[in-house]
Amino acid sequence: MIRQLTPLTLVALMAATAPALAQDTTATGDAAAPTTEEAAQPPAQEAAPETGGAQLDLGQPADGSTPELGQRYSKEKFGDWDLACIKTEAEKDPCSLLQILKDETGNAVAEVSMFRIDNGGQAVAGATVIVPLETLLPGQLTIAVDGGAGKRYNYAFCNPIGCIAQIGLTADDIAAFKKGKAATVSLVPAPAPDQRITLNMSLNGFTAGFEAVDVLTR
């Protein structure tokens, strides 16, 4: 089962990974940074009674029975990636290629969910990346493969779950993921705008998972 992501606050993440914090000024991208800085959001809480049902993982039957409508579940594993699907009333459930990014202590911090695109112009795939609320939005999101410069992407919006970047990936980007050994996703924490936090994104199983994931026709 794929658990619903409850982002760790960046304050806690910074405390856990303080020795690893470093500036990253080499990455470049085509997207322009926002002209205004959004105010820091209240810290996301660990699942607790006061957080409300939307933040709680209600579990999945252990006897292998069918997931409930609207529930996300793991249909198949591809290395470190999950083919994560949403249970619907349709004959085929929509699925995306999912990886939860964790800190050094195993806490879930961010989520990458990817799908293929047909007739999407330069973009052959799309991805939704969710990061914690205390992220500095003008700092943008950086994705790099094998220590390269990578690309920076703008955030689209924030909600109670976290801040979301909806990005397009070119054929060259996907080729780099397939050939690469490791990737990183990095962000700038609002409480420390002069620093950058980097999370590891495994590419183990990416090629097989990408070939199996749904294709969205545009």
Query: Would you kindly state where each structural domain of the chain is located, as residue ranges?
Result: 10-30+69-217
Which range has the worst mean pLDDT, 63-77, 117-131, 178-192? 63-77
Residues with Cβ within 8 Å of 130's Cβ and at least 6 positions away in sequence, in order, are: 5, 7, 110, 111, 113, 161, 162, 163, 164
CATH of domain 10-30+69-217: 2.60.40.1880
- CA 172, CA 178: separation in Å to the nearest integer? 10
Instruction: Pick the most confident of 20-29, 42-51, 191-200.
Output: 191-200
pLDDT of residue 216: 75
19 pLDDT more than 70: no
69 pLDDT more than 60: yes
Q: How far is CA 192 from CA 17, 56, 123, 157, 188, in A?
A: 13, 29, 33, 20, 7
Element (H, E) at 182: strand 182-187
What global pTM score does this model have?
Answer: 0.69
Residues with Cβ within 8 Å of 9's Cβ and at least 6 positions away in sequence, in order, are: 43, 44, 132, 133, 134
Q: CA nearest 147: which of 179, 194, 201, 184?
A: 184
Q: CA nearest 128: which of 5, 10, 3, 1?
A: 5
Strands (E) in 51-179, as ranges, are 72-78, 81-86, 95-102, 108-118, 123-131, 141-145, 151-153, 157-159, 162-170
pLDDT of residue 26: 37
